[in-house]
Amino acid sequence: MAETYDIIVIGSGPGGYVTAIRAAQLGFRTAIVEREHLGGICLNWGCIPTKALLRSAEIRHYMERAADYGLSAPGAGFDIARVVERSRAVSRQLNAGVGFLLKKNGVDVIWGEATLTRAAADGRPAAISVKPAQKPPAQPQPPVPKGVKGPGDYEASHVILATGARPRALPGQEPDGRLVWSYFEAMVPERLPKSLLVTGSGAIGVEFASFYNAFGVDVTVVELLPQILPAEDAEIAAIARKRMEKRGIRFLTGAKVAKLEKKADSVVATVDDGRSARTIEVERVLSAVGVVGNIENLGLERLGVKTERGCVVTDGLGRTTAPGIYAIGDVAGPPMLAHKAEHEGVACVEAIRGLKAHPLERARIPGCTYCDPQVASVGLTEAKAREAGYDIRVGRFPFIGNGKAIALGEPDGLVKTIFEKSTGRLLGAHLVGAEVTELVHGFVVAMNLETTEEELMATVFPHPTLSETIHESVLDAWGRAIHI
């Protein structure tokens, strides 16, 4: 006989485990199904370990600039194996932390691969079948956590899909684990290649470009669109590109990798910009052309769950077209961000409980890219605001006018704000420079509170801090900036 729960969550990434914990807090008997690693891709092979790698790159960069700070660091070298091991240790710590949190909140863990076998109907709960987990081809299999349940049949009044996403592979350019990498291989190199070609200049592409460049790898990035970081404001992306080019990263925009020819220990890439084609020989290629939702082998089609462009269609509170079946996070569509998944999951289970829940306002979800320089944003770009018909005011404040930035030795950066002229409503904010990923939340809070320019101008920001750039950019939109 199938064991029954109130809620079963499939997938234990940031969206899944947060959803399960919130469900348990609300009094639901809850279980979570996982086939690979607690914490999902984000904690084990994505957000967290890449930030650990980038922290090592950042410290190396400062060591190389020690003389700028009146210091000396002669013979500052590195051991790439130790850099990688530190990153893996950070992931292991957080992986264990997720297990602790699930246990603390009374969430059962079911280890295996789940398939939906029945939607909720005619008074019967939804049902899933869990089979032994299959080892993914590109990833090491972690040990099964202690105290978890195994394969079998399970039922729940509500089943929430939080199965995440995986790297997208272009035909003829599929990662092979040796010459052509996905981000899995790029995160654990046994040695550094002399040269690396990155296809795609989104967050994943430029973050790895920054990391490998910091350790002396000759990096070239190919981007199909005319702008790197295509989702970002054009002015901010241009500043980021200039800074990264100054560091030695080459960008080929408006171009595509038309063909890859593999040799014994290198790859010859044919890059076509629509006017001519050139060949580039590199030791390794990193495919960073985005991700696609994990919707296969879940039984969605059989139960009438609608999918679109590789993702599950939901109503904004996680409900799908099949009763008792929900979806949150990457598998429910863009933006494919961990913090979006967490908030989406909380809203989903609170709506199930009957609490007042609001669909996530996607225009207020911040995005952060941890390349050097960092890039962060929320809301409309200048171009999108104009396309939408807004009459806008734009404020800009450069880091060179900020005392803390100069003291840090980080004077290259910009904060850009976009307001509706008639109402003073904040439509968007875009930042590039040191630690801007830690600044953007100020704009997110302001947008959620529907703060106007007048209220932001009246806010007292501490001195000396980088946050003062927020204040000055708002002042500049109304011609009142003080320090430029």
As annotated, the active-site residues are 463
Backbone phi and psi for residue 167, each to the nearest 5 degrees, phi listed first: -60, 135
Distance in angstroms (rounded) separating the CA atoms of residues 344 and 346: 6
Other C-beta atoms lying within 10 Å of the C-beta of residue 167: 20
User: In sequence order, what are the residues at sequence separation of 6 or more whose Cβ sits closer than 8 angstroms to the Cβ of residue 74?
Assistant: none
Residues 6+ apart with CB under 8 A from 276: none
Name residue 198's amino acid. V
Q: Match 């501490």 to its residue by tokens.
A: 462
Residue in the block written with tokens 């790439």: 80
Residue 316: φ, ψ to 5°: 105, -20
**C-alpha distances out from residue 392 to 50, 314, 367, Å:** 37, 33, 22
C-alpha span between 419 and 142 (Å, rounded)? 48
Per DSSP (E only), the strands in 283-420 are 284-287, 291-293, 307-308, 311-312, 325-327, 367-369, 375-379, 392-398, 414-420
Q: Tell me, what DSSP letter sits at residue 316?
A: S
395 within 8 A of 233, measured Cβ to Cβ: no
Q: Is 299 left (phi over 0), alpha (psi -120 to 50) or beta?
A: left
DSSP H or E stretch at residue 16 = helix 14-25
Candidates 392, 397, 390, 387; CA nearest to 439 is 397
> Within 13 Å and on the Cβ side, how many CA atoms surround 478?
18
